[in-house]
Amino acid sequence: MIKVTLKDGSIKEFENELSVMDVAKSISEGLARNILSASVDGKVVGLDYIITKDCEINLFKFEDEEGKDVFRHTSAHILAQAIQRLYPEAKFAIGPTVENGFYYDIDLDYRLTNDDLEKIEKEMKKIAKEDIKIERYELERNEALAWAKENNEIYKVELIEALPEGEVISFYKQGDFTDLCRGPHLTSTKKVKAIKLLSVTGAYWRGDEKNKMLQRIYGITFEKNKDLEEYLHLLEEAKKRDHRKLGKELELFFMPDEGQGFPLFLPKGMELKNELLKFWREIHRENNYVEIETPIILNQKLWETSGHWYHYKENMYTVDIDNEMYAIKPMNCPGGMLFYKSKPHSYRELPIRAAEIGRVHRHELSGALHGLMRVRAFTQDDAHIFMLPEQIKDEIKNVVNLIDKVYKTFGFEYHVELSTRPESSIGTDEEWEIAENGLKEALEELNLDYLVNEGDGAFYGPKIDFKLKDCLGRTWQCGTIQLDMQLPQRFDINYIGQDNEKHRPVMIHRVAFGSIERFIGILIEHYAGKFPVWLSPVQVRILPISDKYNDYSNEIRQKLFDRGIRVDIDDRTEKTGFKIREAQLQKIPYMLIVGEKEESDKTVSVRSRDKGEVGSISIDEFIEMIVKEIEERTNCL
């Protein structure tokens, strides 16, 4: 008798061995039609997996990540099979799933175009309709190598040779196509009906620019055409919101050819960045943080102590100063250690909350750079909190509340994930238990739902990650709270306790924005460049209808400027309609149109970016209205 425990805790008993699909059918035929994969005792498997002993099973549909992943992994194989049919000379590298879809890297002398993608897509749909059975089988290492060499699959040879001795080498066969793959996959091609190939680009084999450049084809698939159409609509909307495009149009930043990966912020971009930092400083002052600034360049000894010299050196920029090696900091944490060690501390001083707007540099590969989302120089809104063990829970709650206030100010929804002790870690069982319990209790007392990522914590401590969702439903990793049991030991920091003995403080690393530059990129796309008034680089533009009203326009400008409002004047000899359209394109929140009537009445004619014509009001009335909107940080979404 085999006992199968389902997700809801119920138990089903079976007399003989059976497949996952058989279990699903025993529950309901409708469920069996909709599931795509399952997990058996935590391992994701295909529907043809045979259950031979008592186990826990969880069945996954397309809306589950595990189901979606198997669906799109199979889609990658259908793509490869279509390419094999159309371009028999192609050699195949790898075809994994990614966050939004899948890709396959191929070695093909013929350069594929968008027209070719349509042809491949058509062949993929044909393969799906053929309802080809997908079968898994295993080979011994020598047999697997023989297969790869016989079929001239040079990349598969390399992959097989890199596998550790004794590793199970599995293959998946669908009709005339066979691929080396760990799996799992669907049992047939028929479910993959809604298909769209998105792009083809270059990619170095294994991401190494010394290797051959392959062609990478990206695709997306769904169970239903309706879902595909919705996704493609969001994709078009995302293109319109691309922060690189809007950053140039709105004159916020650009990437100079002389410094790829090193963004150059223009005056309007700096207004936006400084407003974010002003907000950041306000909330940190409210929460009793002190602000520090640590050196950008520190010597090799420090980075050896922190461990970066041995584990991160390839991502660090180094420099020889007075015959001694130094490094430009890739992160602020070691500098925070120097701050704490600058004088002795008593338990009475803790917690110490030290915040830093720290400039860091990391050597990223040129192929990984992406606007403000992936750069080589950026600003982290770091904070390091040094505390007593019994203060962990309260400090975590304080940080969660601070990050919550930040995200709600911008209109972001978010979810929380807790990552626990990984297999390879430092610290005692007792230390990890205290740390993990502190994080859990803090989240539970705040009534925050959270997902647990077992074993996904940093080797030096557990962490809480904040995944925020923008207006297009995309998820971004920004805020994080990490408990660190390594750096306090490495830097031998301590405090004098009530017993007059030295003790090791507990330390938290945390960021709210993460990278300021990346957060700006997210905001540009979230708002489509239509920032709320308090964030807008230019909050008001004055539009005189002719040169005769320039003096009055300058008088208005000065009054607004004196109240801290960011304002400019468009005094070009253009028609008013043209000036309004220009201001709309620049996404300026308020336009003040000034003519004879306004000058004589000492008023302004107000036009709102979001509401259209507001009407004629006094200058003082307008100033009070916009100042209130700025002070309250009203969100425009």
Distance, CA of 145 to CA of 140 (rounded, Å): 9
205-225 mean pLDDT: 91
CA distance 193 to 228: 10
Coil vs helix vs strand at 369 = coil
Strand runs labelled E in 528-594: 540-544, 567-569, 590-594
Task: Determine the angle formed by the axes of helices 114-129 and 65-86, rounding to 10 degrees.
Answer: 110
List, as one string, the DSSP characters of 159-202.
Answer: HHHHSPTT--EEEEEETTEEEE------SBSTT--EEEEEEEEE
Indicate the average pLDDT of the chain: 92
Percent of the chain with pLDDT over 70: 100
pLDDT at 429: 83
486 phi, psi to nearest 5 deg: -100, -55
Pairwise CA distance, residues 582 & 124, whole Å:
46
Catalytic residues: 333, 362, 380, 382, 384, 463, 509
Q: Which of 325, 329, 314 is nearest to 361 (CA)?
A: 329
Strand pairing category for 590-594 and 540-544: parallel
Band the pLDDT of 433: cuts 50, 70, 90: confident
- When pLDDT is cut at 50, 70 and 90, the band that residue 636 belongs to is low
Which helix (H) or strand (E) segment holds residue 453: the answer is strand 450-453
For the stretch 555-575, pLDDT in tens is: 999 999 999 999 999 999 899
User: Comparing 268 with 449, which gets the higher pLDDT?
Assistant: 268
| Largest pairwise CA distance in the chain | 95
- Number of Cβ within 10 Å of residue 136's Cβ equals 17
Of all residues in the chain, what percent carry a pLDDT higher than 90?
A: 76
Each residue's pLDDT tens digit, 122-137:
999 999 999 999 999 9
What residues does 464 pair with on adjacent strands?
Answer: 418, 481
Q: What is the mean pLDDT of residues 142-171?
A: 90
Residue 312 pLDDT class (50, 70, 90 cuts): confident
**372, 263 in Cβ contact below 8 A?**
yes
Angle, CA of 308, 309 and 310, to the nearest 5°: 90
Given a cut of 90, whether residue 457 has pLDDT beyond it is: no
CB 180 within 8 A of CB 100: no
Whether the predicted pLDDT of 511 surpasses 90: yes
Task: Assess whether pLDDT exceeds 90 at residue 453.
Answer: no
Structural domains in the chain plus CATH codes? 2-61 (3.10.20.30), 66-240 (3.30.980.10), 257-294+330-527 (3.30.930.10), 296-328 (no CATH), 540-631 (3.40.50.800)
Answer for the pair 252, 266: CB distance below 8 angstroms, yes or no.
yes
**pLDDT score, position 117:** 96
Q: Measuring CA to CA, which residue among 328, 309, 332, 306 is closest to residue 318?
A: 328
Write down the pLDDT at residue 637: 62
The pLDDT value recorded for residue 104 is: 96
Q: Tell whether the model's pLDDT for residue 460 goes beyond 80.
A: no
620 DSSP assignment:
H
Confidence band for 369, pLDDT divided at 50, 70 and 90: confident
3-state secondary structure of 41: coil
The string of pLDDT tens digits covering residues 597-633 is 999 999 999 999 988 998 999 999 999 999 999 999 9
Q: Taking residues 84-110, report their average pLDDT.
A: 94
pLDDT reading at 350 higher than 70? yes
Measured distance CA(627)–CA(465) in Å, rounded:
35
CB atoms within 10 A of CB 263: 22
pLDDT at 109: 94
Count CA within 13 A, CB hemisphere, residue 217. 31
Structure confidence by residue, pLDDT tens digits, 167-198: 889 999 999 999 999 989 999 999 998 999 99
424 pLDDT higher than 80: no
| pLDDT band per the 50, 70, 90 thresholds, residue 210 | confident
d(Cα 247, Cα 267) in Å, to the nearest integer? 12
Q: What pLDDT is attached to residue 235?
A: 87
